[in-house]
Structure 1
């Protein structure tokens, strides 16, 4: 099976490529490198012994995408490509709708024209909005509080409509919770541009001295210590979820949304304390105001993933943090 991985040099994409190669899948990566580096290909090759096929292209470029499908015998697509920062999406919403929604429409049209109708989509728990109570279940109503979340929700609507219109499509939309960690080798990990939007790379960059202190957004939530509680999942477990989803596509016509999470919640300060204990490094932090749209507690009901994909998260929080620290301490400046 030959799989096209859009956004395959990014954080989750690169870890998924490693697991696909280990499972003897033929991989073609398309990425515009807007938030990643080709240096990750060297690291993937070092881990797996194989260098994946890489094409620098943007999913919004229809001619380029048609060339990819013309040049390669693609059987299915794992679609990661897209902008992903919640805060940034409120400042440049048009870029988010253009890249994420319009780009996906280009990809889907080209897939349809080449009769490639198998897709695993990188969705998000942001589609549950702010009014559902955790544990979050796939049957709950969806909504979004920011342009990034809206793009994920719009794409899901498009995918469900597409699958209803043509029974040959098999689509699994994986709703991630909070991916953290890195490959156990320490060779690949999360390497965001600028100040990280996610907690763990922020903490890790404070630990190696790239940033002075962590900002904790609010300490007055109704949680164990007043800070926000989230469902953190090891990126390798998440990658293995994509492998399971690819293997399930043949048996699951239509479009199915599936949570990928642990079903457990951990607070921001619990993460900070665990990181300090594992790394032996102090993490100075400052409590600041809540961010608009943030809610107290978010964690998954992960039963459907077990039933439909035979998947569950295996790695615990200590392993997630230890792997994050190994990556960041070995690569204080990321891939550069």
Structure 2
């Protein structure tokens, strides 16, 4: 039985004993105040005095009330002391607060697994201002996690844990579990619960990448392979690699690469790539004209943007904010999807 449930049960039992004693004394001829006073002093073992002389029936009733009431009071005291001394109460209160905080989140990213890869992904997302919910089966991994970051202890291969992490309102799910089997299962569960959510999964082996994509991952990434390619790129084309590394990960720069979805009804629907460049100053690097269409690098300026297309642009924070505002359709809704 959970500590909070035990405390609730104990308090209800104490209330029941108090009501029982009060009603009993009322039936024995006491007034309401006298009955309540006699009950409280009896079950608390204080016993200042009887408010009036007790009849034989009242004496028998009082003895029964002492046996039941004192036992209930001692049980309440034991439950409260156990909850406080063992930290159960504080832990449960923190869990409840965290559950409420997670339920209030919108557009956050769920990190499934807080190992080295999950920790790095979480740190980067938080550095860009994104809200994250970290989920892991081992609470010891959260010891160095910022207390303000939402976390959840549980098995993300279970649907109820994903839902508790706010999957219904999440923007994306990053799956980086200890085994490819668990990663595939988690990806399948997340895709079944939210067909439209973005899922990025860590592939531990080259062969599991295809399986993860078949399971529903939008992108499967092998960190070892990706790291090896970056090392090779720095060796062969250091300037290009440095530019991409800086523009993607350097927070101190005013300009960066960003993807901007064009919403239906926005001012950019029907506009050309060149018009976007003129109106905002952001440099279009690529365009995806439909959700499943391929990316077109270095698009021609005459390409017309339909609703649902995505622009990948390079620009300053101000330029990107202006473009996002135009693409969203609602002046107050600025969508920022950093790649």
- TM-score, reference length from structure 1: 0.29
Greater helix share, structure number = 2
For the pair shown, the structure with the greater C-alpha radius of gyration is 2
